[in-house]
Structure 1
Amino acid sequence: MEKIVALVSDYGLKDHYVGTVHAVIKSTDPEIQIIDITHNVRPFDVVDGAVKLKWSYKYFPLGTVFLALVDPDPNAEPVIVSTERYFVVCPNNGIVSLMAEEEPIESVYLITADHYFLEGKGNFRGRNQLAPIAAELSRLQNPSHFGEKVEKNRLKLFKLPPNVRVSDNVVETIVLDVDSFGNVVLNLPVDKPVRSVEINGKRIEKFLSSFSGVQKGELFISINPEGYLQIVAYMTSAAALLGVKRGQKVRVEF
């Protein structure tokens, strides 16, 4: 089995933080493959980190260790979350919530094996505590080496607002994400075209499966690569044109 550690963080790429996390993992075991999912989670935004983890985890091989380093609360306990196929090393702050809706949690371990931690290196637990644990876990594939098993209800999880069926053919949902292109991703998986989307008083009726023949700045509806409904403006930010942000309500007509 390949040893893989996959990183999600809000560290950005300007500073040295990501590089030193890589270095700690490689120092533990040079054979570990490190995959950077993203380091551009909005700073301190656990929900954004949870979305990025949700979009990505299912593409990874069995036994991958996800190292989720969005850590706004210094009092959040460091934990290992195990599913049937994967592990997540993270602060206990809800970042696994959306992944857990699709990939059921089997066990939770509170990390107590501090002899793996780096010493005397300042207040940077993503690098100094969680990175060496993730590296060792990728080798051993057994979280019981790193701490105490606790009840699954110890794990902090959040729920997004549920979709509401307004009528037989209308559903009210929310904006789940705005990606780097300004595409407005809704919290609504779909497998067929929809009739219209209404947000901020703007009604969009064009549904397209590709960008072929679309004019720059033209708004339309499509399905994102993960199967969720999205609003797109070709070569332009739909979010900026519509003045929307995550969490806003949207009406979808089928």
Structure 2
Amino acid sequence: MAIITLTTDFGHKDHFVGAIKGTIYKELPDAKIVDISHDVSPFNIQECAYILKNSYKNFPEGSIHIVGVDSELSPENQHIAVLVDNHYFIMANNGVIGLIISEIVPEKIVEIQLPDSVDGPFPVMEVFVKAASHIARGGTLEVIGRPFNKLKDLKDFSARITNNGDSISGSVIYIDNYGNVVTNIQKSMFNVHGNGREFELLARNKKIKAIYNKYSDIVNFELDKSQRKAPGELLALFNSSGYIEIAIYKSDLNTVGGASTLLGLDYRDTITINFF
């Protein structure tokens, strides 16, 4: 039985997650359900895409990923099922899948059209679960939908090269549990356009002139402890997902604060890199 994952902005207070799981078990008593996250910020497409892009590849091929963010059906928000990278995604056509697979060509996309489908306020349970259960039983996408080729493309979420190639203009796409700020500037873009030049990363009124490969790289362990940089220092690094991240070394968002609170950075705020 294929694994079914759940990624939503439903939180844990309400009944929605329990109802979804119960409906899956009614359809598939032997189902294997994994929660990726139910704490996506409400309707935050970029945050949802970042979480999914960096988690789905760790599941076995053939896994089925139900995405419950901005999922209500409308003429501009169709329900779709996508087979890409040997994984199935069941979601609305709201831009999430385009951000996840920006460099991969989907193998198949259908617009979901189930018989006797309910067009109601809870499509994750009423539509997505049925589609996922069909696939988990070995069913094909052609049975549950018709070919679809109008994936929503959110170009405005991409980092841009500016100033005749001497600058990169990016933005905040995710803030993690530590208050670390993830930008949409990828390491590959930085390396290609930086080409080894000196640079300044500008975040609010802060300037950062080095980017590390891990958090502790900011510490020179050859120095005496009294002379080392300590927890609370600002740094930038290439995170495990290949994006530039701004962090406070050993921060705690709930006590001293993290990069997001201490620098006053929020979702979609601008981050600029200037090369010299």
TM-score computed with the length of structure 2 as normaliser: 0.80
Which of the residues 223, 231, 237 maps onto 2:258?
237
Deviation, structure 1 residue 93: 1.6
Q: Report SS of the residue matched to 1:101.
A: coil
Distance 1:190 1:123, change over 3 A: closer
Amino acid in structure 1 at the alignment position of 2:261: A
Q: Report SS of the residue matched to 1:244.
A: coil
Question: Stretches of 4+ moved more than 6 A in 1?
Answer: 191-194
Which of the residues 149, 158, 168 maps onto 2:154?
158
Deviation, structure 1 residue 108: 1.8
Distance 1:196 1:30, change over 3 A: farther
Partner of 1:69: 68
Instruction: Report if aligned partners of 1:114, 1:129 keep a CA contact under 8 Å in 2.
Output: no
How do residues 201-220 of structure 1 correspond to structure 2 at under 5 angstroms? 201-212=205-216, 213=219, 215-220=230-235
Instruction: Report if aligned partners of 2:71, 2:91 keep a CA contact under 8 Å in 1.
Output: no
Distance 1:227 1:84, change over 3 A: closer
Instruction: Report if aligned partners of 2:2, 2:63 keep a CA contact under 8 Å in 1.
Output: yes
Q: Cα deviations across residues 58-112 of structure 1 (Å, max 9, x unaligned)? A: 2221111110111264412211112241111111222211112033223221211
Partner of 1:185: 182
Q: Cα deviations across residues 138-188 of structure 1 (Å, max 9, x unaligned)? A: 2225211212223x1x22221223421536664332222222221111112
Separation in 2 of the partners of 1:105 and 1:54?
A: 14
**Matched pairs, number:** 248
Partner of 2:142: 144
Partner of 2:271: 250
Gaps of 5+ in 1: none
Distance 1:173 1:123, change over 3 A: closer
Partner of 1:32: 31
Q: Report SS of the residue matched to 1:140.
A: coil
Q: Cα deviations across residues 3-57 of structure 1 (Å, max 9, x unaligned)? A: 1111110000112211121111122112221111111111122232222222222
RMSD: 2.5
Partner of 2:54: 55
Separation in 2 of the partners of 1:104 and 1:57?
A: 16
TM-score computed with the length of structure 1 as normaliser: 0.86
Structure index of larger Rg: 2
Identity %: 27
Partner of 1:90: 91
Distance 1:95 1:211, change over 3 A: closer
